[in-house]
Amino acid sequence: MAPRLRRKAEPVPVYGSGSDEFTVEVRHGGFFVGHGQLRSYVDGKVSWFDYCESETWSPLWFDDFIEQLGYERTESMRIYWQLTGKDVADGLRVISNDSDTNVMVSVVDRVKNLVVYFDHDDNIAGLDFDDIVVNPVAELPKVLSPHKVQYVLKKVDEKLPNFYSDVPTTSRGMVDDEGSDSSGGDDGSSEDSDFVDSDYEIDADDDDLFVKNVDVGVNDEGAAVNASSSQGADDDICIDEDCLDLPDSEDEGEVRLR
């Protein structure tokens, strides 16, 4: 029996388990767009040819399919078979000789509906980019489909790498949360040993410095003389009420110089 084009409203044939007949689903009238995972076949139509037989199946049947669908076979036209379990992005195989149709027949015992594409102008060979703006597609491919954001739970017992263990918790010169300066206090005296003068250590006793810089046998007479002279000057000052009265004349109270 020759393959027959399924008309509208015709039921889908049911093949037996041991039958070598199958159906070819032809997608035609459209064109390929995109590249790789973005490849799609748009503006196409779908037709079914039922009761194809494995024994007589060959590439010549496609010439008959093209004629029944109202097209002309041109040199640029290509026919692709979509491998079973694959999609149009990575599962197309060109049908050009008997070896290709023999591979199709090898899966008929498991698959009864084989999908083929008509590339009328061989435009799939010129698609070297995946620009969906220049070549828009009817539906977004799976790689561009939006998905929900996944939140990663915090692991309480998880330890940080060794790199983070050596990082100081606060920087020098910075003020912590309680307002205390982290650069002062014990850190400056204990860590900055290069800035400590060993000759004048704070913790050392002052007795050694006194013996080194003070002459014990020398009396400081200058301080005593100044003290006695200042005391004599204070004795000459009269603080009685009579002395505080203003002089009766201009000459009274003046010191005459010789």
Q: What is the pLDDT of residues 228-249, one digit of tens each?
A: 555 555 555 666 666 666 666 5
Residue 34 sits in a domain whose CATH number is 3.10.20.90
Q: pLDDT confidence of 136, banded at 50, 70, 90?
A: very low
What percent of the chain shows pLDDT beyond 90? 35
Q: Could you tell me if residue 58 is inside a domain?
A: yes
For the whole model, what pTM was predicted?
0.50
What tokens does 123 get? Answer: 């435009």
pLDDT at residue 225 tops 60:
no
Residue 101 lies in domain: 4-143
Calculate the average pLDDT of the chain.
Answer: 74
Q: Is the pLDDT of residue 124 over 70?
A: yes
Q: Which has more pLDDT, 165 or 234?
A: 165
State whether the Cα torsion 126-127-128-134 is positive or negative. Answer: positive
Is residue 131 in some structural domain?
yes
Q: Does residue 135 carry a pLDDT above 50?
A: no
Residue 10's pLDDT is what?
A: 92
What is the H or E stretch that residue 113 is in? strand 113-119
pLDDT at 133: 41
Whether residue 205 is contained in a domain is answered as no
Per-residue confidence band for 254, with pLDDT thresholds at 50, 70 and 90:
low
**Residue 124 domain flag:** yes
Is residue 116 pLDDT above 80, yes or no? yes
Per-residue pLDDT band for 27 (boundaries 50, 70, 90) equals very high
Please indicate, yes or no, if residue 249 is contained in any of the structural domains.
no
What lies within 8 Å, CB to CB, of 112 at 6+ separation is 15, 21, 22, 23
Measure the CA–CA gap between 12 and 48, rounded to whole angstroms.
9
Supply the pLDDT for residue 137.
Answer: 47
Give pLDDT, residue 47: 97
Q: How far apart are the first and last CA of the chain?
A: 164
CB-based contacts of 241, cutoff 8 Å, min separation 6: none
With respect to residue 204, please indicate whether it lies within any of the assigned structural domains. no
Q: Is residue 8 part of a domain?
A: yes
pLDDT cut 70: percent of the chain above it: 50
Total domains in the chain come to 1
The answer to whether residue 130 sits within a structural domain is yes
CA distance 105 to 90: 21
